[in-house]
Structures are given as structure tokens and as C-alpha cells.
Amino acid sequence: MTHIHAGVRNWKGGLLAWSLGAALGTVQLAAQETVSTVYEQLAEPRIVERADERVLEVRAVGDPNEIGSAAFGVLFQLYFSSGAATGFTPPVARARWQEGLDEIPRSEWIGRYALPIPETVESLPDHTPPDGVTASITTWEYGTIAEILHVGRYDQEQPTIERLKAFVEAEGYETFGGHEEEYVVGPTMTGPGNPDEYRTILRYRAR
């Protein structure tokens, strides 16, 4: 949603800094391959079945401008210290937002940031999150979902969201719950990059 993304670009700058590590060349190549595959599959909206997924979730309450970077920091710190990382390619982070943000003060927004984890991770390492941030291992429910790839800036997602919702309605479905974003390409450890080349999967549960 547009009202989120005016602030999102300010706190996503640390996203890949937590995930890249030393194998930058390998990561960049993997990211390019991922983007190509995702673009081919999701250039057009689609409705598919997706299995529920076990994730490491960091829940942050507050203005994303003020708490978002801390939430991502905790997310990736716990991911790597828990032993969830199994290779050089960093995971793709995602976030879920509740409905009706236009009617909620920014200080009360709830962002749920997540990374998929294997069954071998049974508990979280000891950690001390900042105020307003909590971490847990949980399951994100999916089932029938509608999704599309947004190409470009975060604050220009609204037309893509509207296109996805129109497609869902035309197919005889409706969306429910808040929307999810999966950050395929965004800011890097060296800076914001080119926002016109960002790739974000927009996703809703559907029925």
C-alpha cells in the first residue's frame, strides 16, 4: 500500500547488510537468477496454492521509520546465529501488514518481518530485542493466494495492487487479511541502489 512505502525506503537500507556476508559475488549472481525467474513467472497476476511455511518472525510495533531497521536487524541476526543459514545465498525477507493502516496511528502499526527456516531450528538463541520488537518461531498460513511482481519504487505500488485485486475479483475470488511483500531486489549493503529496478512480490490470501 502506498501509505506504507513512503517510510519503507528509509528502513530497508540495512536489509541485505545483515544477509550478505563475504560471498558477495555468489550472492549477486544468485539474486540475478532469482529475479529473472520471478519476473517470468509473476509479470502477470496469478492465483496459486502455496503451502504453509515455518518462519522466524520478528514483530515490531511502531512507526516503520523508527523501528523497521531494528526489526530487520534482529531478524537477520537471529537467522544466522540460530544456524538456519545453509548456504551462501541469503534468504529473501518478507513482511506482512495488518489491514486498515489508513485508520491507525503510525505509532500503533504492526509489522511482521519473516524469513523461512528449516525444521532443524527448534528454538531461538538468547537475545535482547529493543522495545517494541519481539521474535518467535511460527507458521505463516497461505493456502490459496494471489500474487504479482511489482517492478519499481515502493511508493508506486498502488497501481500494481489495484491490478492484482481487479484480477482476483474477475476470477471470482476476494482477498482477505493484510498484504504481504517479498523483497526480491531492494536496497543493498552499499546503498539504496536504483529504486526503479526494485522487485517486490505483492501477495494476498484469497478465497
- Rounded Cα distance between 88 and 25, Å, is 10
This prediction's pTM: 0.81
Residues 135/117, Cβ–Cβ less than 8 Å = no
- Rounded Cα distance between 183 and 176, Å, is 21
Domain that holds residue 92: 2-206
**pLDDT given at position 151:** 94
- Rounded Cα distance between 153 and 170, Å, is 27
The conformation of residue 202, written as its DSSP 8-state character, comes to: E
Best-predicted range by mean pLDDT (3-7, 38-42, 57-61):
57-61
Report how many domains make up the chain.
1
The predicted-structure confidence for 152-203, as pLDDT tens digits, reads as follows: 998 898 899 999 999 999 999 999 998 999 999 887 666 788 899 999 999 9
- What integer best gives the mean pLDDT of the chain? 82
CATH number at residue 95: 3.20.80.10
* Listed residue (88, 78, 187, 96) closest to 136, CA to CA: 78
Q: What confidence category does residue 2 fall into, taking pLDDT thresholds of 50, 70 and 90?
A: very low
Q: What does residue 172 show for φ and ψ, rounded to 5 degrees?
A: 85, 20
